[in-house]
């Protein structure tokens, strides 16, 4: 029987991000992706205009059909959640579908570059902190880590102890494995990671360009599938980072428009199953 992962996230019809990116990657890694939409966008919000259909009112009926099928998941991934009600629905979903073998990855899609997304409120931030208690893996970027831990955001000049403090605050919320992404380290971009109770370590790579839409989704997709496939956490973080970097290099070669995201299709064959 094939392994399955539930992907609780928005769907963007155009622009490589969210579920549209995650599905082909987890499939390539030998895991069946099962999408539970939180919202449906014509294209992602980085474009000047977009259509959005909030899916909150339909989520429970959708989930009830999965319960009738007695579905079980080896992994559960969450991404964009647009309301406190959606976070509550996700908490119930995890409680209902999780087994001792299920790996839960929470990607707290809240903001970037020091700012919360317009849909986010202080209440949503408090609810997201509660959701992290369910996580086997949590993958905030630097901005999200700051909001979740109450740490003032700054562009640079971070000390190791400051990052270490944020990592352990996130672990104290209940997350077993933590990775803070998008740390600027000179000419490199890095991640800080730790397993609950362990020391913080850092991984870094030469920065290719500023982050594009969808890079976090690509990163999280690899971590989610790898967890289901039994790949060790630090190894998974390293290979996800390398794959994102390789894809960004190919994206620059093809002069892909910035809004269309990361051209990961060109490098997918280099991403090996473990």
pTM of the entire predicted model: 0.95
Q: For the chain, what percent of residues have pLDDT higher than 70?
A: 98
pLDDT in tens, 127-157: 999 999 999 999 999 999 999 999 999 988 8
Domains and CATH numbers, the chain: 3-270 (3.40.1190.20)
Distance CA 100, CA 104 (A): 11
For residue 47, give Cα distances in angstroms to 15, 41, 214, 226, 230: 9, 11, 14, 32, 37
CA-based max dimension of the chain: 52
> Which tens digits make up the pLDDT trace of 235-259?
999 999 999 999 999 888 877 777 7
pLDDT on residue 210: 63
Render pLDDT for 161-215 as a digit per residue (tens, 0 to 9). Answer: 999 999 999 999 999 999 999 898 877 889 999 998 899 999 988 887 666 788 9
């Amino acid at each position: 029987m094939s392994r399955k992962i539930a992907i609780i996230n928005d769907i963007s019809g155009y622009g490589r991000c969210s579920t549209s990116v995650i599905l082909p990657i987890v499939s390539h890694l030998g895991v069946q992706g099962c999408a539970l939409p939180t919202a449906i966008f014509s294209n992602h919000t980085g474009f000047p205009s977009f259509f959005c259909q909030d899916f909150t009112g339909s989520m429970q009926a959708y989930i009830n059909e999965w319960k009738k099928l007695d579905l079980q998941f080896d992994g559960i991934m969450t991404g964009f959640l647009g309301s406190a009600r959606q976070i509550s629905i996700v908490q119930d979903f995890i409680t209902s579908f999780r087994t001792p073998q299920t790996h839960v990855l929470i990607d707290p899609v809240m903001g970037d570059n020091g700012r919360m997304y317009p849909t986010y409120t202080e209440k949503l931030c408090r609810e997201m902190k509660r959701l992290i208690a369910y996580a086997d893996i949590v993958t905030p970027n630097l901005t999200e880590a700051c909001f979740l831990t109450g740490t003032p955001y700054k562009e640079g000049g971070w000390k190791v102890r400051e990052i270490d403090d944020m990592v352990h605050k996130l672990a104290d919320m209940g997350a077993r494995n933590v990775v803070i992404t998008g740390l600027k380290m000179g000419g490199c971009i890095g991640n800080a990671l730790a397993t609950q109770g362990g020391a913080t370590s850092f991984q870094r790579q030469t920065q290719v360009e500023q982050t594009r839409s969808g890079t976090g989704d690509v990163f999280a997709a690899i971590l989610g599938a790898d967890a289901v496939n039994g790949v060790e956490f630090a190894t998974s973080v390293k290979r996800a980072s390398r794959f994102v970097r390789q894809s960004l290099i190919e994206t620059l070669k093809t002069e892909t428009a910035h809004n269309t995201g990361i051209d990961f299709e060109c490098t997918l064959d280099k991403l090996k199953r473990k």
